[in-house]
């Protein structure tokens, strides 16, 4: 009898943990330093990834409040805002409309689910109409304030073989701090020779299910025990890769020891 009760308790605990990690997100704050950021300046980047049309609270109220309170200089969305099977975009477009009311600089790169969707181009046009800067193998130079200028580079989805890394960096001014947006980190080795100071990716969902002390079991595109599942990695001299584990789910709609996440990075001067 005791073993049955113990088993039932463990089962309920696991279910509770899955429900919490899947449906309650947290904001992770990360500090980065770099010599290209002038002394006295700071750059705050809010990253949102892999929403997959998920809604947090009524009309995304909790998510919007967190985004608004971040006081970031820019918002970057690293793909998979919708799922390949999403039937309507009302909630996503409503979320985007609220974000662009608060933030002037909102950037987006497509993910594999956008390209798997039958209405990819109307969706991308809908984002552009809502003042989101869609980057597909291109870059923009951005003035944050009088003392801070940066480059934002976006490559199209590597899983769909749409990336053109050389084209994206063509003509870039390397003296400025450069952020590369790529939905997937799977081909990070191809970026090592490119002048990207910070690479922001998603796609992995943090490995979906994580085992304490072992880590992720599997991640899309990387298979078992993935090398780049979540968090910060040094991929080259003065080059960092950050993999956001994302907000939503797809195919298997669970997270375990892998809570939904939105990330806020602050980049400051390094001597």
pLDDT, position 138? 97
Q: Tell me: the pLDDT tens digits for 55-93?
A: 998 889 999 999 999 999 999 999 999 999 999 999 999
Provide CB contacts within 8 A for 247, sequence distance 6+: 25, 48, 49, 50, 51, 52, 54, 56, 63, 260, 261, 262
Taking residues 158-183, what's their average pLDDT? 94
Least confident among 9-13, 222-226, 241-245:
9-13
pLDDT, position 208? 66
User: What confidence tier does 10 reach under pLDDT thresholds 50, 70, 90?
Assistant: low
User: What confidence tier does 113 reach under pLDDT thresholds 50, 70, 90?
Assistant: very high
Taking residues 21-36, what's their average pLDDT? 91
Cα 3 to Cα 6, 11, 14, 45, distances in angstroms: 5, 12, 16, 49
User: Both tokens of residue 260?
Assistant: 């939904």
Mean pLDDT (the chain, rounded): 88
Q: Are 136 and 154 in contact (CB under 8 A)?
A: yes
pLDDT, position 131? 97
pLDDT, position 1? 60
Q: Whole-structure pTM over 0.85, yes or no?
A: yes
pLDDT, position 11? 59
Q: Tell me: the pLDDT tens digits for 210-226?
A: 667 666 766 777 667 67
- The CATH number of residue 157's host domain is 3.60.21.10
For residues 228 and 116, the model is more confident at 116
Q: Is the pLDDT of residue 123 over 90?
A: yes
User: What confidence tier does 21 reach under pLDDT thresholds 50, 70, 90?
Assistant: confident
Least confident among 125-129, 186-190, 228-232:
186-190
Least confident among 115-119, 182-186, 206-210:
206-210
For residues 219 and 260, the model is more confident at 260
- Report the number of secondary-structure helices (H) and strands (E) in the chain: 6, 16
pLDDT, position 140? 97
Nearest to 199 by CA among 103, 265, 269: 265
Distance between CA atoms of residues 17 and 13, nearest Å: 6
pLDDT, position 31? 97
User: What confidence tier does 7 reach under pLDDT thresholds 50, 70, 90?
Assistant: low
Nearest to 264 by CA among 69, 75, 29, 41: 29
For the chain, what is the domain count?
1
Least confident among 49-63, 144-158, 241-255:
241-255
Can you give the residue range of the structural domain that contains 178? Answer: 2-269
């Amino acid at each position: 009898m005791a073993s049955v009760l113990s088993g039932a308790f463990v089962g309920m605990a696991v279910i509770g943990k899955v429900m919490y990690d899947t449906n309650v997100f947290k904001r992770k704050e990360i500090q980065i330093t770099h010599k290209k950021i002038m002394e006295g300046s700071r750059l705050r980047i809010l990253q949102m990834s892999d929403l997959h049309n998920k809604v947090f609270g009524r009309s995304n109220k909790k998510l919007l409040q967190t985004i608004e309170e971040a006081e970031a200089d820019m918002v970057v969305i690293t793909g998979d805002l919708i799922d390949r099977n999403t039937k309507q975009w009302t909630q996503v477009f409503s979320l985007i409309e609220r974000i662009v009311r608060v933030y002037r600089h909102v950037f987006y790169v497509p993910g594999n689910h956008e390209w798997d969707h039958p209405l990819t181009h109307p969706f991308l046009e809908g984002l552009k109409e809502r003042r989101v800067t869609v980057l597909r193998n291109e870059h923009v130079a951005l003035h944050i304030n009088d003392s801070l200028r940066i480059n934002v580079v976006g490559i199209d989805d590597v899983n769909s073989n749409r990336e053109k890394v050389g084209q994206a960096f063509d003509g870039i001014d390397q003296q400025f701090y450069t952020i590369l947006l790529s939905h997937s980190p799977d081909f990070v080795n191809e970026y090592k020779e490119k002048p990207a100071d910070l690479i922001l990716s998603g796609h992995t969902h943090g490995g979906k299910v994580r085992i304490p002390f072992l880590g992720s079991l599997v991640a899309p595109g990387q298979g078992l025990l993935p090398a780049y599942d979540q968090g910060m990695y040094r991929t080259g001299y003065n080059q960092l890769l950050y993999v956001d584990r994302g907000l939503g789910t797809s195919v298997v709609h669970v997270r375990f020891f892998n809570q939904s996440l939105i990330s806020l990075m602050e980049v400051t001067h390094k001597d």
